Amino acid sequence: MTPREATATVLLELLVEQGLSEYATLATPAEDVPVLSLLRRTAQARAPDLAALPWPERRAALDAAWQRVDGPFWRLTAQLRLAQHELFLLGLAGGAESSHLIGLALAALQAPETVSRPGIHLALDLWQQLFAVMGADALDLVSGRLCTSGLLIADGSGPLPQRHLRVRPELWRALRGGEADWPGCRRLEPPMDAPDAARLATLLTTSGADGLVLRGPPGSGRAALASGIARHLGCTPMQTPAELYQGDLAFGAACRAVGWLPVVRAPLGSGESLTLTRPDGLPVPAIVLAGAHGAIEGQQWLDAALEPPDVATRTQLWREALGDPNLAELLASSAVLFRGGIERVARAARGLAGEGAVTAADVAEARRRLAPDALRMLAQPVPRRVRRDALVLPEALERDLHLLIARCRQRETIWQGIGPSLAAGATRGVRAFFAGESGTGKTLAASYVATALGAPLFRCDLGAVMNKYIGESEKNLGQLLDHAEAADVVLLFDEADALFGRRSDGAETGERYANMLTNFLLTRIENHNGIVILTANNKARIDPAFWRRLDVVMDFPLPGYEERLRLWESHLGARAPDEHVLHHLASYCDLAGGSIRNAVLSAAATVPPGVPIGSVALAAALAREYRKLGRRLPPDLALVPARAAGG
């Protein structure tokens, strides 16, 4: 092999083999050490034409060939301005990690020591004998570019000349052109093909900033956009822990040589910060993936917030993914998803549909299944789908409910053409409040809204959200809202008075903390770009400051006669007794819909499946339900007409 035919990695191996062989000849002219003889024969056999030249000419030939190659080694040499003797020492330390012969030769040259890594004393002698580097001492070496850049590490606790040099195996692998890999890091997903990627890459290179902070909720495509920026910069995006980016010199050296772009995740909450400063001399910036809250502190950081595509772009994305223009238009208006979310949901929906055409129900099921795990840690999915005929409400309340659904579908377009004062507060968020006694249909109505929108419904898990440590509850709630926004789920806060109760004037620590939590919630709910439904049994227990922040407030009254009749018919279905019994129940049973449901289930358990549920079973079930509620059974219900079949 000639130097002209070699790659940078091979050239460095040749430099080490030829140089070490020459030094072995100088060091042991009379005594032939077997391993050193093997090293000489190997160097000669690998490049016979080169080995035939005097050492100064070999050095010159290798140096000339080095100027014509490319790759990590060459880029590192250019960036750090490494001289040939420094490059030789780096290759020697790396060769000890990858070549058994080099390790044995080093041990032989350093006898009686048995260390297979180059000692500093040997390195200095190699520099002097092979490269005519005079006057350098151990202090010069450990304070030079090789060690201060993280390429070499001086191991040991004795005097400097007795210490040994090593190179991190992962760094050596990266320099040799191995796969993009580093402990604790991973290569990011394929890049997002977005115009913003090119614009942000240009901004990053021309601004001289330490890096770029991409802000958006989890699942918004921040990582894919970071990959797109890296592609425009000619880099490989590597998700990197903050402490590795900040404090590992060897990783910085790998970024230099291989062209890695560090991407740091910073899951910060309100009032939190992360200090990140680009390590000295690192030529590539960093990208930080953060949410809407928290601060990144450093020398200079650019900031860019991600927004979901507009309706027209989402329609096009759905059409490309599913092929149905009508379905695409429906989904684009009801689901405010980011580009990556649309692609993931479309793939899952096609899998659910199988050979058939994808339906809105398939998309809704795919969205529920793909809800982020972090969301499931703080909220519980409500999987039931509620059809319109399952909802029994007064006519005015039902009309208001459909107005709420229409508002949710127009939560982006509703702001078009409005005046500047109103436009200043434009948001995609919709906040609704359902008030009424237990069992009046508030949660069922929330399920119906989610079903009509084709969106998953998640109920906030107060047990997972609330935390005894100050600040943790706010952090959990912030994460819950961020994940809900990214997946565009309908978020349900049942018994909202537990979170949004009235603030007090108390001076106790617990009261002050409760007031702070309420203040935080009021602000976060107002700024949330998603659909939130809150329910409570008693409006009077909700803090008055919350009403201004609500878009819709709906009162769910106890059902009147007409609603109770429809409830009995809807719950009993084909197993209902005759009409006379139903009218009697609707006239004298003053229970809410949830209690009627319980009574029907209790009565159904006492008769065979498929058999009509008669008046006797219903009367007994109602008596049990009234006792459970601590109320007396109305006298007129004690004698339910018995003219129904099965009674």
Residue 248 CB: number of other CB atoms within 10 A?
A: 21
| CA 443/CA 459 separation, integer angstroms | 10
| CA 361/CA 454 separation, integer angstroms | 7
> Can you give the pLDDT at residue 644?
41
Q: CA of 610: how far to CAs of 572, 614, 647, in Å?
A: 11, 12, 14
Among residues 341, 339, 347, 340, the alpha carbon closest in space to that of 322 is found at: 347
- Enumerate the domain spans of the chain: 3-175, 186-305, 311-357, 388-415+426-556, 561-638
Residue 102 CB: number of other CB atoms within 10 A?
A: 25
457-460 and 531-536 strand pairing: unpaired
* Residue ranges in the chain whose pLDDT is less than 50: 30, 509-510, 643-647
Among residues 50, 38, 53, 41, the alpha carbon closest in space to that of 14 is found at: 50
| CA 143/CA 415 separation, integer angstroms | 62
CATH of region 186-305: 3.40.50
> Can you give the pLDDT at residue 383?
83
- For 51, phi then psi, to 5°, come to -65, -20
Q: How far is CA 456 from the centre of its chain?
A: 19
Given a contact cutoff of 8 angstroms between Cβ atoms, the answer to whether 320 and 298 are in contact is: no
Among residues 226, 231, 228, the alpha carbon closest in space to that of 262 is found at: 226
- For 413, phi then psi, to 5°, come to -75, -20
- Only one residue has tokens 């062209």, namely 259
H-helix or E-strand spanning residue 319: helix 311-322
3-state per-residue secondary structure call for 111-166 = CCCCCCCCEHHHHHHHHHHHHCCCCCCHHHHHCCHHHHCCCCEEECCCCHHHCEEE
> Can you give the pLDDT at residue 509?
47
| CA 619/CA 585 separation, integer angstroms | 9
Q: Dihedral (C-alpha) 65, 69, 73, 74: value to the nearest 10 degrees?
A: 90
**In terms of CATH architecture, what is 388-415+426-556?**
3-Layer(aba) Sandwich (3.40)
| CA 169/CA 250 separation, integer angstroms | 10
186-187 and 273-275 strand pairing: unpaired
- Domain 186-305 and domain 388-415+426-556, same fold? Reply is yes
First to last CA, the chain: 101
The pTM (predicted TM-score) of the whole model is: 0.76
